[in-house]
Each structure stands twice: as structure tokens, then as C-alpha cells.
A and B are shown apart, each in its own frame.
Chain A
């Protein structure tokens, strides 16, 4: 089994979600392959994934998917079995949204539209200090309702932050419905391109395609910031959760937990 195996990561998410009776399972499942490929092959983490001063930054701006990142940090040893098994227990440190006080998480998000700007600042700090660091900022398509996202995109293109990659988890849902119903975004790729980004679009669950897209974008000789639209399925990996927005909010019970785990083990 390769490192950051998506099935194993999803199983870790399920263990946490069941232990903590957590919502946001589907939000985490749509970004599993994106994070897996980044951690496995593209993020440079130096001698310590949380503190190495020369590390690449992975900014989870869509903080609602944080269980997916906890699962990756579990693989890296920054999140323990105890953390997983006692998720949301009294006095525990892992919260239900990305929190910069947790080693391995770069920003506090969950109030949407914050992380991308902080990521833009991190990319700019690296550029000004002429380090080789890159910043990968993962935002949600629902999050793109926030005006601050568009401010950050304008800024990143204007200042030619070529070491910034904005990855859009385009799962086509937000909290209360499909993005088309709630606030139709039209073509995200066309918008990013129009904003001055070097933009690719990819199947966000195809690891090979993701790997190739990251490589191509990172290698491209361009001064433009990079944009990757990852078309994903909310709840991906468990049949009864896929594209069913109830799993933005639903909690696992013993039956659904067992059924979901069984699917992943199959």
C-alpha cells in the first residue's frame, strides 16, 4: 500500500467522525486525493512538516475539510491514534475546523475566505525573501461566494506570485444546496484565467491526473500564479454519501459507520 492511501485516509476520517459524532464528512471526502497526492509527491516538508522554516505551505482555506488533513497528519505522525479515537473529547486539541495552533495546519479557517489571503501573504513572504517555498491554498467552490477570495486572486495575479497555487475543490455543493442553486459560479476555470492565473482543470479523484497537473503547473515557465480546478464529488468514496449533501451535516451511527467502513475495506 502506498503512503497516503485514499482508502486508509477515508477510514481515518470515518473513525474520527464516528468518535466525535462530527459533521462535515462529505467536505473531507472530496479533497482526499488532492491532499494525498500533494503530501505524497509535491509538498516539500523539510525536516519537520510543521516547523521546518523552508517547508512548502499547505493552506486549508476550506477549513470544513479538516478531517482529511488530520488523516494525512496521522500518517505523518503529527496526529496520534489517541487524537483520532478521542476526537472532540473534552480538553482535546483537534477542532472541527482548521486551526493554526495545531502543528501541521498553517491557518485558522472555517470562517471562509480567510485562508487564501493568508496563503497569498505566505507566498509573497517567500518570494520577497527569495526562498524556494511554494504555497498551495485549497479553497472550496462554495467558499468562492466570499468577496475576499476575489480580492486575493486579484492581488496574487497583480503581484505575480508564481509560487502560489490555488486549488479549487469543485464539488459543486455548498452548505445548503448545489452551487448552481445557491450561487451559480459559472466556469471557475474561465474566471481564474480571466483573473490572470495559469489554470488547469482535472478530475480531483484521479491521482495520476492530479499528479500530472501539479507537475505541469509547477514546471510551467510562467510568472503567473497557478490555478487548479479539481472537479470532485462531495462525499466521494462511500456510495451512500456521494453527491448527497445531507452528509455535509449528517452524523454517523453504528449502522452507517459499519456500512461505510465495509465499503472502504472492499
Chain B
């Protein structure tokens, strides 16, 4: 079993446990999730609902179910949920602050062979601008378990971004995660800090070996994001590298830069997908390399960034 399956299984298992305890939970899928929900369908057949290849209606129906007292969980690929149904999420769900959980699977460039229709590097950016929407982005199976606990206890809409996480475990045990807080899988007292989310936490940990005193933070909660905690990290470090498998426009890098600019200015390097679509297809690792998100490319970028900040002590450290 690969580790992506670990994370997806953590999601499916958390959902089954919750659905067994609470019959108001209804899983809606737009005809996606082959094999992912086999166990859920066996365990809670009455709570599984295939809404067909009709995502707009699926989200409207989820809003109606929530208004009628149920707890819908809407599953889709992140290129369809939330992107294709953004207006339904805005108007039918967020405007009324309804407790609907959206699962965006395959976020980033996971579907590396299928091209831009199935890749999503803008989902966080668009949802950050929707009032009442919370956004979670777990880095591994352990964070997924903790994030599902948060999502299922939320009273308003939640988007859970499920990227590929077969790059390795980040945590040895399920961490305690609170809304807005970061966790720190690697501590250090050097002047450089890394803040990463989702699939980019593991490459950050690998790249951080090059700067042994640097610390690495994981951000499973992208919205809300505790301003004070981020500002404190900015104050304590001379340079911050932010990594995400998402556009550098509007995602975690932007959120950190916004906080830094307003509260605690420092050098920030945003590493993510530049303002472009994937050009070629190939393996997931190939696509990460195309976008400069492999460990080697990250080290190269950060080295150049540190040189540019003219903080020679950092660059040489």
C-alpha cells in the first residue's frame, strides 16, 4: 500500500467512524472516488449518495440537505469541487454558513498524466476569499486524521484539500491540531524557517537538511490562520521560505506574506507553482520537477534567495 493510500484511507476511515456515530452525515460524490468508498458503502450504505456527473446540482443539494438538518460531505476532485462549483459554494453554502464539508481530492498536479483539466493550483486562492469558509490541507495520514476531526466538528463550511502525500510520513503520531495553528515537525534555532503545507511539508524537511539549524512548520489549517503565531515566527527569523503545491498567487505564500507585510516584515520566499499551467505530462515526480518543486530545485531556489537577501551569514550557514 503506498502512502497516498495511507492518507486516503485515513480520510475514509475517519468518515466511516463519524457516519456510524451520526446518521445525519451523508456522503455525496459526483461519480468519483472509485474504490475509495467501498468500505463506506458497505458500512453505511444509506448514507452514500452518488449525485451523478452533475457537480453544480450536487452542491446545491448539499446546501439543501444541510438546511434540512443533515451533515453533508461533498467529495470531488479539486478541479471540480471547488473550482467548477464556486458560485454554488459561495451563494448556497457560504452565504448561509452551512455545515458542509468539501473534499477536494487530487489537489495540485497529482493527476500528472491527465493535464490541466484535472490539475488544480488555484483552489485555495479562490476559497480564501469566500467569507465563512475554512480551509484544511493535511500533510500526511496523521494530519488527515486530525483535520477530519476538526472538519467534522465545524459549524460552518470547510474545504479539505487532499493532495498527494506519498512523499513520506511527516508525523509519527496524530498531532493535536487546532484551527489556525501550525505544527512544527522540525525544530531549530537558526535564522531560517520553512512553512509548508500538504504535499510540500516532506520536501521541505528534506531540503532543510541543507540548513541544519532551520526549523520547519506545517500549516494544516490555511484558513483561519493565526496572525499572532505567524507574526511571531516572522519576528524570530530573518528569512522565511513558504512551500505549497499551489499557485504562488493567493495561497499559503500569499497569506504569510500578507501577515508579514502588515505585522512583522521579513524576507519571504514563495515557492509554489508559478503563473502558468503544466506544459507536459509524465509522472507526478516529473511534474513536480517541471514546476521546480523537487528537493534539488527547492534547495537551489532557497540558496539563491538567501544570497539575494544579502544575509551572507545565512547563505553560508
When distances are taken between beta carbons in the complex, the residues of chain A under 8 Å from B57 are 117, 120, 148, 151-152, 154-155
When distances are taken between beta carbons in the complex, the residues of chain B under 8 Å from A129 are 68-70
When distances are taken between beta carbons in the complex, the residues of chain A under 8 Å from B188 are none
Q: How far in angstroms is the closest Cβ of chain A from B81?
A: 14
Answer yes or no: B64 CB below 8 A from chain A CBs. yes
A124-B65 in contact (CB<8A): yes
When distances are taken between beta carbons in the complex, the residues of chain A under 8 Å from B192 are none
When distances are taken between beta carbons in the complex, the residues of chain B under 8 Å from A116 are 60
> Which positions 74-104 of chain A face chain B at CB distance < 8 Å?
100-101
Answer yes or no: A194 CB below 8 A from chain B CBs. no
Partner pick for B64 among A120, A148, A158, CB 8 A cutoff: A120
Answer yes or no: B116 CB below 8 A from chain A CBs. no
Answer yes or no: A6 CB below 8 A from chain B CBs. no
How many residues belonging to B are interface residues under a CB distance threshold of 8 Å?
Answer: 24
Given the known inter-chain contacts A118-B92, A120-B61, A124-B61, please indicate yes or no for A113 contacting B56, CB distance below 8 A: yes
Answer yes or no: A10 CB below 8 A from chain B CBs. no
Given the known inter-chain contacts A100-B95, A107-B92, A108-B96, please indicate yes or no for A148 contacting B67, CB distance below 8 A: no
Alpha-carbon separation in the docked complex, A108 to B94 (Å): 11
Main secondary structure of the interface of B (DSSP, over half): helix
> Which positions 40-63 of chain B face chain A at CB distance < 8 Å?
51-52, 54, 56-57, 59-63
Q: How far in angstroms is the closest Cβ of chain B from A37?
A: 24
Q: How far in angstroms is the closest Cβ of chain B from A261?
A: 35
Number of A-B contacts (CB under 8 A): 92
When distances are taken between beta carbons in the complex, the residues of chain A under 8 Å from B95 are 100-101, 108
When distances are taken between beta carbons in the complex, the residues of chain B under 8 Å from A100 are 95-96
Answer yes or no: B22 CB below 8 A from chain A CBs. no
Q: Which residue of B is nearest A117, CB measured?
A: B60
A125-B69 in contact (CB<8A): yes
Q: Which residue of B is nearest A109, CB measured?
A: B91
Alpha-carbon separation in the docked complex, A131 to B246 (Å): 44
How many residues belonging to A are interface residues under a CB distance threshold of 8 Å?
Answer: 30
B60-A148 in contact (CB<8A): yes
Answer yes or no: B38 CB below 8 A from chain A CBs. no
As a 0/1 sequence over residues 128 to 155 of chain A, the CB contacts with chain B under 8 angstroms (1 = contact) are 1100000000000000000110011011
> Which positions 113-127 of chain A face chain B at CB distance < 8 Å?
113-126
Q: How far in angstroms is the closest Cβ of chain B from A55?
A: 11
When distances are taken between beta carbons in the complex, the residues of chain B under 8 Å from A152 are 57, 60-61
Q: How far in angstroms is the closest Cβ of chain A from B32?
A: 16
B54-A121 in contact (CB<8A): no
B52-A117 in contact (CB<8A): no
A155-B52 in contact (CB<8A): yes
Answer yes or no: B87 CB below 8 A from chain A CBs. yes
Answer yes or no: A111 CB below 8 A from chain B CBs. yes
When distances are taken between beta carbons in the complex, the residues of chain B under 8 Å from A121 are 60-68
Given the known inter-chain contacts A147-B56, A148-B56, A151-B54, please indicate yes or no for A118 contacting B63, CB distance below 8 A: yes
Q: Which residue of A is nearest B60, CB measured?
A: A117
B60-A125 in contact (CB<8A): no
When distances are taken between beta carbons in the complex, the residues of chain A under 8 Å from B54 are 151, 154-155
Given the known inter-chain contacts A128-B70, A147-B56, A148-B56, please indicate yes or no for A119 contacting B64, CB distance below 8 A: yes
Q: Which residue of B is nearest A59, CB measured?
A: B64
Contacts A118-B63, A124-B64 supplied; 8 other A-B pairs, CB < 8 Å: A100-B96, A118-B64, A121-B61, A121-B64, A147-B56, A148-B56, A148-B88, A154-B52
29 of the cross-chain contacts (CB-CB < 8 Å) are A53-B69, A101-B95, A111-B87, A114-B60, A114-B87, A114-B88, A116-B60, A117-B56, A117-B92, A120-B57, A120-B60, A120-B61, A120-B64, A121-B60, A121-B62, A122-B64, A124-B64, A124-B68, A125-B67, A125-B69, A129-B69, A129-B70, A147-B56, A148-B57, A154-B54, A154-B57, A155-B54, A155-B57, A155-B61
